[in-house]
A and B are shown apart, each in its own frame.
Chain A
Amino acid sequence: MRLIKVLPMLLTGMPCWSATSVISAPERSYVHRMWQIEDGLPQNTVTAVVRTRDGYLWVSTLGGLVRFDGAQFYQPPLSQEARGAFQRITGLMLDAAGTLWVATEGDGVWRMNARTHQVEQIPALRSTSVRSMVFDGRNRLWVATAEGTLKVLEGGEVRGPPAGVGLLDTTVLGLALDPKGTLWIGTGTGLWRAQNADLSDFERVRVIPSEQIWSIWPDGDGSVLAGGDGGHLWQLSGGTIQYLPEGAGTVTSVVRDRRGGVWTGTLDGLYLFTGEKWTRIGPQEGLEFVRFLYQDPDGDLWVGTNGAGLHLLREAAFRVYDRTDGLGSDQVLAVTEDRDGSILAGANCGPVGRVDRDRAEALTEIGPRDADCVWSLLRSSDGTLWIGTWGAGLLRAREGRTTTYGPESGFPDSVVVALFEDRKRAIWIGTISGGACRMIDGRLSRFRVEEGLPNNSVRCFAQDRGGTIWIGTDSGLATYRDGIISPHGGNSGLKSARVRSLYVDSDDLLWFGTYGGGLGLARDGRLDVLTAANGLLDDVVSWIGEDRLGFFWLTGNRGVYRIARRELLDYFEGRQTGVYPAAFGVADGLKTIECAGGFQPAGVVDRAGRIWVPTIRGLACVDPANIRTQRAPPASIDSILINGEIRREVANLTLPAGRYNMEFRYSGLDLVASDKLTFRHQLRGVDPDWVEAGSRRSASYASVPPGSYEFVAQSHGPATDWGMPSRTIEISVRDYTWKIWWVQLTAALTVAAAVYLLGKGRQVLLHRREMEKVEAARQLTAGILHEFRQPLQVVRTRLDILTVRGLPVEDASAALNELSALLENLERIQSLSDLRTKDYAAGDTIADLKGQREKR
């Protein structure tokens, strides 16, 4: 029998999580992360970055080369010579086959197998100081040396340009190859190019002055961006020049992002040009002396700095507007869409704000006094702006005039927390303690507990297709139809009846969110709920919305999340036992996960399909269509420990006979939100199913016996499904020699005789033990039967009494028939317990026992 126990996690290097922040730029936000020595980076000056095809990021620093998986920096073991050379890396690059190439200062060019970490120095380039290198379409390596020479590595041999080519007269600072095969060369005397990367056909680009060109970005359309001294950025198509803000200094690196924005790294920091203006990005976050920029295959921007570590900027799914953008307050409450498509936002103790085409402003001319807070907003179909406040009642703003409805004018409450317009253009007003009001044509009707409301605190309204108005209160739901308020019959069954949100979906189903009782669905007179116990992120549901992709969006105290509507219906219709929300957080651009709620509207889906939700740190907006893949990154097995010996080369293994302690170390290659990943793993042959590992990144097995095994791991992100499984590692532990069949056969024949001789005596012993076991089982069976028979006697007698009384004879007879069937089963069990020990012998089967019984 196998005895395998999963050991506690043993990690030589614990994951490190750097701080995540959000940086706002024009029309977009970026999630920013930074890693420095404290986070595991060997050194704070980062000289190059490249991402290999397996998803790892390779980072060179003045302290050496490391591999990064989003959580841990791993320094591969290297020869002393390579270790020394890799302290002075000037460039990293991949060839067409995915091999990692490393350029150094003084030690030439090296080639590295990113999987096995085997390195090899290129003999023909030994001792070269490399300033820049690039592969062309024919997989030739172009190398610019610190001395200003240009070399080409082809077939293991190095060639230089033909004699007489003027390039040799100047310093080469940078190289780039465009998709059409033109090689661009930045030099100390301007920009040069070689059509078709032909060494004999160099020409200087005359439109650019003879100044130092340090950085080149070839666009796919033939245009080229070239960065020079003094903050000059040239765009070659059309010969335009952009001047960076004064003081930016030399443009060390330039990248055009997928939205067309131009990023430039300079000696003075990072700048973004979005077509209108330059914006300096992240000076407070340490982005000052930028050595280079690297845009990875996912479009994420990596920034290497001089002394300030490694930085990452990923465009965030959410854009958050706050005071810094022009809103009057960071604490946003009610939010609604205006008639022109702009978004209006109420604030906690501040003016109403507006966001229109990425511009935010505070509308100081409308709204309550400063001390009053806007808890509800509605632009009704007649153009009136209705403002519900905490303390100043209801305001009606139209055509420059504002009318106030408060207790002093007979309005029932000074706190208005919900506003809604029904299809008859009646305005519904929910108050904190004065019930609900309905205003139509200037006439106000009031509904309170006396009129049928479950509670006078009214938080939200909705209207279904039949015209019924649904009202959410602190004591459950009510409906309004034909002038009558009716409390819902299912309110008493709710764990929390404090209704905070209502939503009638595209199929006319009414959904409701509660404070503490989860998400509910009202159907067929019933109120069913889904809570955190079945996968809901939060039992507080402040807002419910639906996007165009089939997802419900929910907010609460624990953030914004979405769940497929199909999944919710599957739960409520009993087809699945839980739901799996995709949650969004700071790594997605939110400045906090805590959303505001308790009022209506607490969120809106605008006409463009974007989701707007109020948070306590700004108004957040997300376009569901722009959310990146919902699939977690693939898991990767980094190393295997066999009996404590580490094997970095992760490959299938065949081990000699024996028992082994095995540890598998794996990671998920999410370079931004790696700390949010959870994992599961399985060692097939040992684990019958996946083992949920949480955030643990290793799996240990003790004393694994001979056999065939397969190990696989998988990761799961907060807003994703399970990702691709890792590669499967097959491990075969050979069987012991004595377990080979012919050895076993020989041994068996040898032992057979001795076994035969011992057999008789052993049989006697076994028989006695067997009889003891049978008697114990018989006693147990009889005891169980007794426990059945006692209550059955009462049931039976009571049924007999009914029969004797004659009422109701049919029911009693049916029950007696059922009882008779049960009794027959009991009799079958009884037939076994009635056997006596002496009636049978060791080895008897059940059939034998029954036979004995029948004979008796």
Chain B
Amino acid sequence: MRRLLIVDDDVAIRAALKELLDLAFAASIGSGELLIDTAADGEEAVELATDHPPDLMIMDVHMPPGIDGIEAFHRLRDRRNGQPVRTLFLTGYGSAGNVSERLADAIQLGAIGYLLKPVPLDDLRRRVEQALGLGTGTSSG
């Protein structure tokens, strides 16, 4: 069974992404073989991922007022003794401020990349297939 964790503070985005990924991978993975969890902020994501490590975490970067997605990635990695969780970041901010530098650091430490919102389905599908070992998508950071 494959496990996905979607982390976003926007409930509409969480619900829509969950429904989309369920639909998109139902055929290729098989019914009951893909479990998708959701979390509404960074702290909840750390707790869930600690208890049930996902095969892939799709996580928003900016989730005020708590810790942001990058910080959650680092805390989880620390809890796992430096072992990162495969994480695909989503961001609506682009590279303003120091976000791009911090994303680059996270990718250096094991995150698989980031996508700008709104995410095209093809990009998302390719990244997920790549992370779950379902296809032959190319890597990019």
Q: Which of B5-28 contact A (CB under 8 A)?
A: 10, 12-13, 16-17, 19-20, 23-24
Q: Give the residues in chain B near A781, CB-CB below 8 Å.
A: 96
Question: Which residues from B are CB-within-8-Å of A786?
Answer: 62, 92-93
Minimal beta-carbon separation of A788 from chain B (angstroms):
8
Q: In the bound complex, do residue B94 and residue A793 qualify as a contact, i.e. CB atoms below 8 Å apart?
A: no
Known pairs A800-B20, A819-B118; A782 contacts B13 (CB<8 A): no
Cβ of A790 under 8 Å from chain B: yes
Say whether, besides A790-B10, A804-B20, A804-B24, A796 and B92 are in contact (CB < 8 Å).
no
Q: Are B119 and A801 in contact (CB-based, < 8 A)?
A: no
Q: Are B10 and A833 within 8 A (Cβ)? A: no
How many inter-chain contacts with C-beta < 8 Å in the A-B complex?
75
Q: How far is the CA of A790 from the CA of B24 in the complex (A)?
A: 21
In the complex, per-residue mask of A785-818: 1 if CB is within 8 Å of any chain B CB, else 0 = 1111110111111101101110000000000000
Which chain B residue shows the least CB distance to A829?
B94
Chain A 770-781, CB within 8 Å of chain B: the 1/0 string?
000000001101
Contact residues, A9-42 vs B (CB, 8 A):
none
Q: Say which residue of A782, A794, A833 sits within 8 Å of B12 (CB atoms).
A: A794
Interface pair B94/A833, CB less than 8 Å apart: yes
How many residues of chain A have a CB within 8 Å of chain B?
A: 28
Residue of B nearest to A827 (CB): B116
- Minimum distance in angstroms from A824 CB to a CB of chain B: 13
Contact B16 A789 (CB under 8 A): no
Asked if A728 is an interface residue, CB under 8 A from chain B, the answer is no
B95 within 8 A of A: yes
Task: Tell me whether A793 and B24 are in contact in the complex, defined as CB-CB below 8 angstroms, given that A779-B97, A782-B96, A786-B92 are known contacts.
Answer: no
Q: Chain A binding site: helix, strand, loop or mixed by DSSP?
A: helix
| Chain A 82-107 interface residues, beta-carbon cutoff 8 Å to B | none
- On whether A796 and B118 interact (CB within 8 A), knowing A801-B19, A801-B23, the answer reads yes
List A contacts of B62 (CB < 8 A). Answer: 786
Chain A nearest CB from B125 CB (Å) reads 9
Q: Quick check: is A279 within 8 A (CB to CB) of the other chain?
A: no
Pick from A782, A792, A797: contact of B94, CB under 8 Å:
A782
Instruction: Name B27's closest neighbour in chain A (CB-CB).
Output: A804
Residue pair B23, A778 in contact (C-beta under 8 Å): no
Interface membership of A830, Cβ < 8 A: yes
Check A797 against B93 for contact (C-beta < 8 Å). no
Contacts of B94 in A (CB 8 A): 782, 785, 830, 833-834
Q: Contact: B16 with A790, CB < 8 Å?
A: no
A823 adjacent to B97 (CB under 8 Å):
no
Nearest CB of B to A820, in Å? 9
CB contacts (< 8 Å) of B20 on chain A: these are 797, 800-801, 804
Query: With A and B bound together, what is the CA distance between A783 and B99 in angstroms?
Result: 12
Distance A778 CA – B94 CA, assembled complex (angstroms): 11
Residues of A within 8 A of B95 (CB): 833-834
Q: Is B35 an interface residue (CB 8 A)?
A: no
* B-side contacts of A801, CB under 8 Å: 16, 19-20, 23
- Does B121 interact with chain A (Cβ within 8 Å)? yes
Interface residue B120 (Cβ < 8 Å from any Cβ of A): yes
| B117 near A793: Cβ-Cβ < 8 Å | yes
A271-326: which residues lie under 8 A (CB-CB) from chain B? none
Cross-chain contact B24 with A833 (CB below 8 angstroms): no
Question: Which residues of B are found within 8 Å of A796, using beta-carbon distances?
Answer: 118-120
A798 touches B10 (CB 8 A): no
Instruction: Give min CB distance, A208 to chain B, whole Å.
Output: 104
Whether the Cβ atoms of A797 and B13 lie closer than 8 Å is yes
Q: Which B residues touch A792, using CB under 8 A?
A: 117-118
A466 to B14, CA, bound (A): 61
Question: What 1/0 mask marks residues of chain B from 86 to 103 whose CB sits below 8 Å from any chain A CB?
Answer: 000010111111001000
Cα distance A800–B97 in the bound complex, in angstroms:
31
- B19, B23, B118: the one contacting A793 at CB < 8 Å is B118
Across the interface, A789 reaches (CB within 8 A) one of B19, B118, B121, namely B118
Within 8 A of B (CB), among A586-629: none
A803 touches B92 (CB 8 A): no
**Chain B residue at smallest Cβ distance from A803:** B121
The docked-state distance in angstroms from the alpha carbon of A800 to that of B25 is: 13
Determine the chain A residues whose CB is within 8 A of the CB of B90 once the complex forms: 793
Task: Point out the residues of chain B lying under 8 angstroms from A804, CB to CB.
Answer: 20, 23-24, 121
In the complex, what residues of B have CB within 8 A of residue A782's CB?
Answer: 93-94, 96-97
Contact of B13 among A785, A790, A830 (CB under 8 A): A790
Instruction: Name the interface residues of B69-117: CB closer than 8 Å to any CB of A.
Output: 90, 92-97, 100, 116-117
Q: How far is the CA of A785 from the CA of B116 in the complex (A)?
A: 11
Residues B17 and A797 in contact, CB atoms below 8 Å apart: yes
Contacts of A833 in B (CB 8 A): 94-96
For chain B residues 48-78, which have a beta carbon within 8 Å of chain A? 62
A662 to B118 alpha-carbon distance, docked (Å): 60
B12 touches A779 (CB 8 A): no
A798 CA to B16 CA in the complex, in Å? 6
> What separation, in Å, do the CA atoms of A786 and B92 have in the docked complex?
5
* Interchain nearest-CB distance for B89 vs A (Å): 13
Q: Distance (Å) between the CB of B105 and the closest chain A CB?
A: 16
Which of A779, A805, A830 lies in contact with B23, CB distance below 8 A?
Answer: A805
Given contacts A786-B62, A789-B92, contact A795 B23 (CB under 8 A): no
Residues of B close to A830: CB separation below 8 A: 94, 116
Whose C-beta in chain A lies nearest to the C-beta of B116? A789
Given A793-B118, A803-B121, A804-B24; A785-B12 close (CB under 8 Å): no
Query: Which chain B positions have C-beta within 8 A of A793?
Result: 10, 13, 16, 90, 92, 117-119
- Bound-complex Cα distance A779 to B98 (A): 10
A781 to B92, CA, bound (A): 12
B92 touches A785 (CB 8 A): yes
Question: What residues of chain A lie closer than 8 Å to B19, measured between beta carbons?
Answer: 797, 801
Instruction: Tell me the complex Cα distance, A800–B121, Å.
Output: 6
| Complex CA–CA separation, A788 to B118 (angstroms) | 9
Task: Pick from B92, B96, B116, B118: contact of A797, CB below 8 A.
Answer: B118
Distance, CA A833 to CA B91, complexed state (A): 14
Contact call A778/B96, Cβ cutoff below 8 A: yes
Decide yes or no: A779 and B96 within 8 Å by CB, A794-B12, A797-B16 being known contacts: yes
- Those of A445-477 within 8 Å (CB) of chain B: none
* 19 A/B residue pairs, CB under 8 Å, sorted by A: A789-B117, A790-B10, A790-B92, A790-B117, A793-B13, A793-B16, A793-B119, A794-B13, A796-B120, A797-B17, A797-B20, A797-B118, A798-B16, A804-B121, A823-B118, A830-B94, A830-B116, A833-B95, A834-B100
Chain B interface residues toward A at CB < 8 A: 10, 12-13, 16-17, 19-20, 23-24, 62, 90, 92-97, 100, 116-121
Known: A783-B93, A790-B13; 5 extra A-B contacts, CB below 8 A, are A785-B93, A785-B94, A793-B90, A794-B10, A804-B121
* A residues neighboring B (CB under 8 Å): 778-779, 781-783, 785-790, 792-798, 800-801, 803-805, 819, 823, 830, 833-834
Closest A-B pairs by Cβ, 4 of them: A782-B96, A789-B92, A796-B118, A797-B16
